[in-house]
Amino acid sequence: MSEEKKQVEKIREAFEQEFGRFVDLRNKLSDLGLAAAENLQREISEFKTRHTGKKSEIANAKKLIGRVAPEERGSFGQFVQSVEKRIVTAIDESESALNDYILKAKTERERVDVTLPGRRPRVGHLHLITLLRQQIEDIFVSMGYSIEDDREIETDYYNFDALNIPDGHPARESQDTFYTTTGFALRSQTSTVQIRAMERRGAPIRIIAPGRVFRRDTPDPTHVPMFHQIEGLCVDKGITMAHLKGTVAEWLRRLFGEGTKVRMRPSYFPFTEPSAEFDFSCFKCSGTGQSDGARCRPCKGSGWIELGGCGMVHPNVLENCGVDPQVYSGFAFGFGLERMCALMYALDDIRLMFENDVRFLGQFR
Ligand code: DAH
């Protein structure tokens, strides 16, 4: 054997030895993970460049063809070519087996079973206070009322003075609120909106004003320092207490059903004269005081549920807003939403409504 042929034979042997690890790759692939196969893919591509590239040993060996004796040149040339062909096809076969495998493994991994049930996205919903507020708003809007929204930070004038509660009046005590260092107060009642709305719009006027109010109360099962009220106001010529009772009764009938009754008890508020508190017949026991064979829970067996305060707007209040009490009269009412929710859903702690625990809130939608 010529020196040159020996050299090429060595190249072939070296290749076969190194190629050993890629031999029969097609059969070994199934035990390989996708990650291992991808590593192998990088290795084989490096291996390919080294053994078939321009600077590979077999490429160099081709330069020897010109150096051998002319009579051997033909067979030597064929030999070099056959070795080169062996190297190239061996690598190509392994490489394409590897590529096929990787493609299949990836497709498998990304396969989607479209028959599986979908994952339901968690849908939020409105808070129970908002839901009740909207229900009440709808009822009043259908009776020709508009909805007034106004500020939560007020001056003493709007929270007290304009509502006929002068400095030193005992009613200020029971509604002690939060003050800023610059003399503003967080409103302790939505009655402030009566004043703002009449100042702005005069009379006649029909509004309800839902909103947050604040009081300096230590939280307990029946008190929170921030809660929601809805205020109602109707001022026109010839408005009487009968309109007040009719309106409240109609609203509560629409909310709790036709059979709902309303009663009023004399009371006192500085901004109304006369003043009353209004109760409605219990939605649970329909006023009988008995439900589920025992003392009815929401009304404590009385058959009545106390809801809020009301009355005929005090002439001083009308005057404070530039409305002539000789020409106009009106009624007003106000009540708290949390108390109402607590009664309707038999909650023994109103703080539940502010803890934002979705296990609780999710029950009311
Ligand atoms: N503002 C009163 C309160 O917070 C509720 C109220 C009573 C509002 C009588 C009124 C009313 O408009 O006429 O307790």
Q: What is the pLDDT of residue 181?
A: 87
Residues whose CB falls within 8 Å of the CB of residue 294, separated by 6 or more in sequence, listed in order: none
Q: What is the mean pLDDT of residues 302-314?
A: 97
Q: What is the pLDDT of residue 109?
A: 87
How does pLDDT run across 9-42, given as a tens digit for each residue?
A: 999 999 999 998 888 777 777 777 888 889 999 9
Q: What is the pLDDT of residue 31?
A: 79
Residue 1 scores a pLDDT above 80:
no
Q: What is the pLDDT of residue 80?
A: 93
Q: What is the pLDDT of residue 307?
A: 96
How does pLDDT run across 312-364, given as a tens digit for each residue?
A: 999 999 999 999 999 999 999 999 999 999 999 989 999 999 999 999 999 99
Under the banding of pLDDT at 50, 70 and 90, the label for residue 151 is very high
Q: What is the mean pLDDT of residues 70-98?
A: 92
Q: What is the pLDDT of residue 207?
A: 98
Q: What is the pLDDT of residue 174?
A: 72
Under the banding of pLDDT at 50, 70 and 90, the label for residue 180 is confident
Centroid of ligand 1 to alpha carbon of 42 (angstroms): 80
Under the banding of pLDDT at 50, 70 and 90, the label for residue 125 is very high
3-state SS class at 185: strand
**First CA to last CA distance, the chain:** 94
- CA 170 to CA 172: how far, in whole Å? 5
Q: What is the mean pLDDT of residues 255-269?
A: 96
Q: What is the pLDDT of residue 67?
A: 86
- CA 165 to CA 314: how far, in whole Å? 11
The DSSP annotation for 94-127 comes to HHHHHHHHHHHHHHHHT---TTSPPPPPPP----
Q: Find out whether the beta carbon of 163 lies less than 6 Å from any atom of ligand 1.
A: no
Under the banding of pLDDT at 50, 70 and 90, the label for residue 177 is confident
Q: Find out whether the beta carbon of 209 lies less than 6 Å from any atom of ligand 1.
A: no
Q: Find out whether the beta carbon of 334 lies less than 6 Å from any atom of ligand 1.
A: yes
Q: Find out whether the beta carbon of 303 lies less than 6 Å from any atom of ligand 1.
A: no
Centroid of ligand 1 to alpha carbon of 330 (angstroms): 14
- Of the chain, the percentage scoring pLDDT greater than 90 comes to 76
Residue 85 scores a pLDDT above 90:
yes
